[in-house]
Amino acid sequence: MDLKDILSRCDHTLLSQTAVWEEIRALCDDGIKYGCASVCIPASYVAQAAEYTAGKLPICTVIGFPNGYSTTKAKCFEAADAVENGADEIDMVINLGWVKDRKWDELLGEIRTVKTACGGKLLKVIIETCFLTDEEKIKLCELVTASGAEYIKTSTGFGGGGATREDVALFKAHVGPGVKIKAAGGIADLKDAEDFINLGADRLGTSRVVKAAKALER
């Protein structure tokens, strides 16, 4: 697979708790240089990054992150605020306690409400697969399909487990035709990236693919 094609599917990501503007700016520079799908950054840097990139690169941020248990109203505020600040894409974490309680109507309602708060911007729904059974993952594929969100996403990268090939294949088998897949967490190298794409991932949440591209240049 062509490196340029792999890079075009990458949400070049920096979500470290100690991330500073110098690092975010460098991430944006690399995202533009290497033709990434977006940069995925903390919400507090969205406005600055949007101004800095001046439309050259989509800006993605996270809400309800990383635990997902803030209220729906809080998630909606975060989403609307991020969009107002210049975010083009929103990655939200679902309420995993509601999954364990089998509160399917509440989960679907929350995703739909957050989607509305995104004001037409792209929404990716993080279901944090490392905490879920296959039955729960399949049910969430159904809910995300019904919600109107554009993507289902495997992981935050903060939950103790990341994307697996098995989960991406499971998503591909169970999401509706309008839902795309984002694999995130633990994508270590170009071989991983290519495998996930071949299994059905349309996006990859990672910083390592750009690092691999830089290594090839050297």
The set of catalytic residues is 91, 153, 182
CA distance 50 to 88: 9
CA distance 153 to 62: 12
Exposure b/e, 128-150, CB count within 10 A at least 16 = b: bbbebeeebbebbbebbbebebb
User: DSSP letter string over 53-112?
Assistant: HTTSS-EEEEESTTT--S-HHHHHHHHHHHHHTT-SEEEEE--HHHHHTT-HHHHHHHHH
